[in-house]
Structure 1
Amino acid sequence: MALPLLLTPLAIIFIIIIIIILSHTIIQRLRFKLPPGPTPKPIVGNLYDIQPVRFRYFLELSKTYGPIISVWIGSTLNVVVMNCELAKQVLKDKDQQLADRHRNRSIERLSKGGQDLIWADYGPHYVKVRKVCTVELFTPKRLEAFKPIREDEVTAMVESIFKNCSIPGNHGKSIKVKDYLAPVAFNNITRLSLGKRFVNSEGLTDAQGLELKQIVDNGVKIGASLSIAEHIPWLRWMFPVDQAAYDSHVARRDRLTRAIMEEHTLARQQNGAKQHFVDVLLTLQEKYDLSDDTIIGLLWDMITAGMDTTVITTEWAMAELVRNPRVQMKAQEELDRVIGIDRVMTEADISNLHYLQCVAKEALRLHPPTPLMLPHKANASVKIGGYDIPKGSNIHVNVWAIGRDPAVWKGPLEFRPERFLEEDVDMKGHDFRLLPFGAGRRVCPGAQLAITLLTSMLGHLLHHFSWSPPPGVKPEEMDMTENPGLVTYMRAPVQAVPTRRLPSQLYKRLPA
C-alpha cells in the first residue's frame, strides 16, 4: 500500500507561488493584446533562451515576430521595439507614460531609491534634478569653460602614445588602444565633476583615485552577482542578498564623495566658488532643495556614465578606421587641409572638420554604447504599434538595430561616413533613425559633451598618427564582436600600430 504524499510547508508555499505566477501570466495574456514573441516557460519565462548579446538576439527574434516583440524575463514582461517609427511612439508620443525606471535590488540601494537622475522615476524629483543638469551643469557656457581640461587630457593621451612608440624596440609594434583612451575619460570626468586629477604627470594614481577606481569596479561586481530572483520577485525571499556587502559599498562610496565635498566647501570659503560640478551642486543645494544623497547620486551618475561611453565609442571608431584605410586617409586629408602639420588640433577646429564629424556620427550609428538604452518602465498601460503595454512592463529601444535597419539606411553594415554629408541627421534625440543618446524626457543631458570629446579624441589620434592592423593581421580579420552587457565593449580590444605623422615637438602635452 502506497504511503500518502506528505507536503512540507515549504513545498506548499512553492506550489502556491507557482499557481500565482501562472495565473498572473494567463490573465496578462487574456486581458491584453501583447506583442508577439517566443513562448515563455513557467516561472523563468524566456530567461534561459536569451543569448548573452541581447540586442543581437532581439534583432534575430524580430525576423520571426516583427519589429515589436514580447520577451518574459522571469515574471516581468519586456517589450523591445526595433524600428524608428515604434521608437518615436515610445520616446515621444507615449513618453510620459513610459518614463519610469526599472531598478533591481543593487540599483535600488546604490541610487537610494532613485534619488539621482539616471534611476529616478519620472515625477517632481526627476524634473527638478533634470533642470539642475540642463540649466546649471551642462550649459554651453560651462562646457566652454572646461575646454582647457578636455584639450589637456587629449594631448596627454597623444604624448603617452608618442612616448611608447619612441621606446627602442617598440617601432612597428601594436598597442592596445583602449589603454590610452580610458585615462582620458577618467581624468576628464573626475576633473569636470570632482575638480580633481587623481593621476599625476608620471601616470601614477593617488590614494583617492585608487579608492575611486576600486569603488567603480566593486559596483560592477555587485551588479553582476545578482541571482535569478531579481527577475522573479516572488522568489526573492529564497535568495537573500548580502545586505552587508551592499551597505559596505554604499558607505565606502559616500565616505569618499563626502570627503571630496568637504574639501570643496573649505576651498570655496577660502578662494570662492569654482566651476566644477561638485561646487555648482553644493552652491545650489539650498536653491533647489537638493539632499546630500541627491548630490552624491548626480556626481556618480556623471562618473559612471562618462567613463564608459566615450571610451567605448572611440575604440569602435578606431577599429573601423583601421579596417577602412580609405576613410582614415580621407579624414587625415581633411585634418591636414584645415589644420596643417605645424600645429595641433583644438576644439575650435571641429566646426570646420565636417568629415571628421561624420566619422564620429557613423561610429555612433553602428556602435551605440548603450545598444538597448537603459530600460524604460510603464507607469500606465498604453498602446504601442497596436499592442498593449501593461503598466509595470519594461520597454527597450534597440537603437543598435535601428542604426542598421536596411529600410532606413543604404548599405547599413558599411562604415561610410559620407552618408551624413549627403543628408544631415540629428543625433541628439530629434531624428529617431539615430538615437545614441536617447530621446524625449530621458535623453542624455551630457550628449554635447560626449560628442565634443569623442570628435576631439578621434581628431588628435588621426592627425598625429596613421593606424594599421598588427603585423600579420588583415583588416577583415579583426574581431568586431561585442561583449555581453549593458554597454558594448569590444570582445577583443582593438590592437593597432601607430605611425607618427607630425613634427616631434607637436606631441608634447599642453597643460591647462
Structure 2
Amino acid sequence: MFLLFCLTFSTITFISLLITFIWFSSTLNPIKNRPPSPRKLPIIGNLHQLGSNPHRALQTITNKHGPLVLIHLGSVPVLVASSAETACAILKTHDLIFASRPKLSIPDTLTYGSKNIAFAPYGEHWRRVRSIAVLQLLSNKRVQSFRQVREQETHVIIDEIGKSCGSVIDLGELLNLLTNNVICRVALGRTYESKKFNDLLARFTYLIGCFSIGNYIPWLSWVDRVSGLEARTKKVAKEFDEFLEGVLEEHVYKKTMMDGEGNRNDKGQDLLDILLDLQIESNTSFMHREVIKAGIMDLFAAGTDVTSTSIEWAISELIRHPRVMKKLQKEVTEIALGKPMITEDDLEKMTYLHAVLKEALRLHTPAPLLISRESTQDVKLMGYDISAGTQVIINAWAIGRDPSQWEEPEMFCPERFLNNSIDYRGHNFEYIPFGAGRRGCPGIHFAIVVNELVLANLVYKYDFALPEEVKGEELDMTEITGLVLRRKSPLLVVATPHFD
C-alpha cells in the first residue's frame, strides 16, 4: 500500500511539474502565428521547388498558399510576398525593419565585403554611399550632363545596324555593347571595347546572380568549392579589382597634372572624377579606394544588363505585336519631323513610347525577385509573426501579372498605361520594376532615359523582322534567370530602313 501511494504521488507530482513547465514555456514563448508554408524536405527545405525559373515557381506556390508565404531555403526562413498589398506592407509600412540585406557570399566577394549600395546591410555606411549616389552621381542634373554620351552612343549603334544591309544581326549583343559603352564613358571617361574587358564584365554580371548553396546550408559550403564557383568568383573579383586599380591610377595621374581650379569644374567630369574629388574633400577615412571601386561596380552591375535587357524585351514584344509597333512608329515619326535622329528633347512628348516601355517592364521585370531583404527585428506583418533575420523576397514579376490588379495580365497592351498615373518610382505597389522604399533603385532616371532614347531611335529608323520569314508571334520568349531576367535565345533579327 505504501509503495502504491509513493508511485501515485510521484506520478501526480511529475504530471503537475510537466503541466507547470508547459504553461511556463508557453508564457515565455507564445505560439507564433506564422504565414502559411508549403511542405518542406529535411535539410534542403523548399530549395527543390525553385527550379530554373524561381519567379515562376514562387508564383505557383503563392497562388496555392496565399500572397504571403514562409518557405525555407535550407536552414534559412524566407518570406515571399507576391501581391501589391504585401509589398506595400513590407516596402512602406515596415520599410525600416526590412531595409537590410542578407550577407551573400558571391556579392560579398565581388563588392569588397558588400561596400556598395545594392548589397550593403542597412546602417551608416549604406546611408552615406546612397547619399553620395543620389546627390552627387545620379541626380537629375548629373544625369542630364551625360546627355551627349547617350545620344552619341545611340547614333553609333544605329549606324552599326545600318551597315548590316539586311543581313541577320544579334540585336541583344549590339544593345549590350551600347549600354556597356554608355556606362564606361559616364563612369570611367572612355570606352573599353577589348574582348578581355567584355568577357570580364559578362562573367561579373553572371556570377553576381548565381546561387550559392553555402548561403543556405552552411555545412555544404564545400560544394561551392568543389564545383569551382568559389574559385571563379575570387578570380573575377581579382581581375576586376586590377582593372579598376589601373583606371584609378590613370585618373589620379591626370588630376595631378591638371590645374586645381580646372579640376573642380563639373563639365567633362566622369563619375570616377567626382568620387575622387569627394575623397579629397572628405575629412574622414570613409571615402577609401574600396568604397570608390564598389561604387563603380554598382554602376556596371545595375546599369549594363538591366538596361540592355529591358530594351531587348521591348523590341521582342513589338516584333510579336505589329499593331503596337506601327502605332509607336507613327508617334515617333510625327514628333521627329524628319530629323535624322530623335533627341532627348523629343522624348517627353512621346506618351505611347512611355506606355510601351512601362508595359514591357511589367511583363519582363528586369530583376524579377528584386534583391533579397532581411528583417532586423521581430515584427507583426499583416497578422503574422515574422522573426528577426528572416530573408524577404518580393516577387515583383508576379505582382506585375496579378489578375486582381491587371486586366488580362498576360497580354502585351501598352494602352493600359495611357490613362493612369502609374509610374516607375515605387509609389504604386502593383507596379515595382525598380523596387520601392529605402532600397529602391536610385538610378531609375538614368536607366529610363537610355531605354526611351534607344527604343525611340530603333523603331524610328528601322523595321525589324525575324530571319527565314518566321512570323513575329512565333518568336521564342523563353527566359533564363539570374539576377536579371534575360532572353534564353539571342534576338536575331533582320533590320531594314523604315519609311513611313
Q: Same fold (TM over 0.5)?
A: yes
Aligned partner of 2:346 in structure 1 is 349
1:124 — aligned with what? 124
CA 1:221–1:415 in 2, change beyond 3 Å: closer, same or farther? closer
Corresponding residue for residue 175 of structure 1 = 169
Partner deviation per Cα, 1:307-335 (whole Å, 9 max, x = no partner): 10011111110010001111110111111
SS of the residue corresponding to residue 422 of structure 1 reads: coil
Are residues 1:144 and 2:141 paired? no
Structure 2 counterpart of 1:23: none
Please name the residue that 1:18 is paired with: none
The verdict on how the C-alpha distance between 1:388 and 1:464 changes in structure 2, with shifts beyond 3 A counting, is same
SS of the aligned residue for 1:471 comes to: helix
Alpha-carbon distance in 2 for matches of 1:330, 1:225 = 39
Q: Report the alpha carbon displacement of residue 290 of structure 1 after superposing the two structures with TM.
A: 1.0
Q: Which of 434, 447, 452 is matched with 1:450 structurally?
A: 447
1:194 equivalent in alignment to 2:220: no
Q: How does 1:303-382 map to 2 (within 5 A)?
A: 303-382=300-379
2:209, 2:438 → 1: CA distance?
A: 28
Matching residue's letter, 1:42 = P
How many Å separate the matches in 2 of 1:402 and 1:308?
22
Q: Kindly name which structure, 1 or 2, has the bigger radius of gyration based on alpha carbons.
A: 2
The residue type equivalent to 1:176 in the other structure is: D
Instruction: Answer yes or no: is 1:284 the counterpart of 2:281.
Output: no
| Structure 2 residue 255 is matched with structure 1 residue 268 | yes
Q: Aligned partner of 1:450: which letter? A: A
Match of 2:437 among 436, 440, 444: 440
Which residue pairs with 1:184 in the alignment? 178
C-alpha displacement at 1:497, in angstroms? 2.4
Q: Within 2, Cα distance between the matches of 1:403 and 1:159?
A: 35
Q: Unaligned regions of 5+ residues in structure 2, if any?
A: 1-28
Structure 2 residue 475 is the aligned partner of structure 1 residue 478:
yes
> Which stretch shifts more, 60-69 or 216-225?
216-225
| Code of the aligned partner of 1:298 | G
Query: Structure 1 residue 499: deviation in Å?
Result: 1.6
**1:32–1:390 contact (8 Å) kept in structure 2:** no
DSSP-derived class of the 1:418 partner: helix
Deviation at 1:414, TM superposition (A): 1.5
Number of the residue aligned with 1:104: 104
Q: 1:124 to 1:334 in 2, by over 3 A?
A: same
Residues 75-100 of structure 1 show CA distances to partners (whole Å, capped at 9, x for unaligned) of 11111111111101111111111111
**CA distance in 1: counterparts of 2:197 and 2:117, whole angstroms:** 20
Structure 1 counterpart of 2:69: 69
Task: For 1:224 and 1:424, locate their aligned partners in 2 and report how far apart those are by CA, in whole Å.
Answer: 32
1:422 matched to 2:407? The reply is no
Identity within the alignment, %: 34
Match for 1:212: what amino acid? F
- The unaligned stretches of length 5 or more in structure 1 are 1-28, 166-170, 200-204, 504-512
TM-aligned CA deviation for residue 259 of structure 1: 1.4
Deviation at 1:62, TM superposition (A): 1.6
- Whether the 8 Å contact between 1:341 and 1:502 is mirrored in structure 2 is no
- 2:23 is aligned to none
Separation in structure 1 between the aligned mates of residue 349 and residue 153 of structure 2, nearest angstrom: 22
CA contact (8 A) 1:322 1:496 kept: no
Would the alpha carbon gap of residues 50 and 261 (structure 1) be closer, same or farther in structure 2, given more than 3 Å must change? same
Out of 227, 231, 247, the residue aligned to residue 216 of structure 2 is: 231
Q: Is the 8 Å Cα contact of residues 37 and 65 (structure 1) preserved in structure 2?
A: yes
**CA displacement at 1:395 relative to structure 2:** 0.6
- Deviation, 1:487, is 1.2
Partner of 1:89: 89
User: Alignment partner of 1:360: what SS?
Assistant: helix
> CA 1:222–1:410 in structure 2 vs 1: closer, same or farther (change >3 Å)?
closer
- After superposition, residues 47-58 of structure 1 pair within 5 angstroms as 47-58=47-58
SS at match of 1:499: strand
- Most deviating of 211-220 and 48-57: 211-220
Q: Deviation at 1:108?
A: 2.0
For residues 261-292 of structure 1, the C-alpha deviation after alignment (integer angstroms, 9 at most, x for no partner) is: 12112222334334211000010014453121
TM-score normalised according to structure 2 size: 0.87
Q: Distance in 2 between matches of 1:248 and 1:325?
A: 45
- Residue number in structure 2 paired with 1:19: none
Residue 444 of structure 1 aligns to a residue whose secondary structure is coil
Distance 1:496 1:434, change over 3 A: same
- Partner amino acid for 1:254? D
Q: 1:457 to 1:107 in 2, by over 3 A?
A: same
Shift of 1:224: 7.2
- Per the TM alignment, residue 401 of structure 1 is displaced from its structure 2 partner at its CA by 0.9
Give 1:238 shift: 7.7
Contact 1:142 1:275 in 2 (8 A): no
Within a 5 Å distance, the mapping from 1:157-176 to structure 2 comes to: 157-165=157-165, 171=166, 173-176=167-170
Which is further off, 217-226 or 354-363? 217-226
> For residues 284 and 431 of structure 1, what CA distance do their matches in structure 2 show?
35
Give the residue type in structure 2 aligned to 1:57.
A
Tell me the CA shift for residue 215 of structure 1: 2.9
Q: Is the 8 Å Cα contact of residues 355 and 417 (structure 1) preserved in structure 2?
A: yes
* Equivalent residues, number: 460
2:48 is paired with a residue whose SS is: coil
Structure 2: which amino acid aligns with 1:219? F
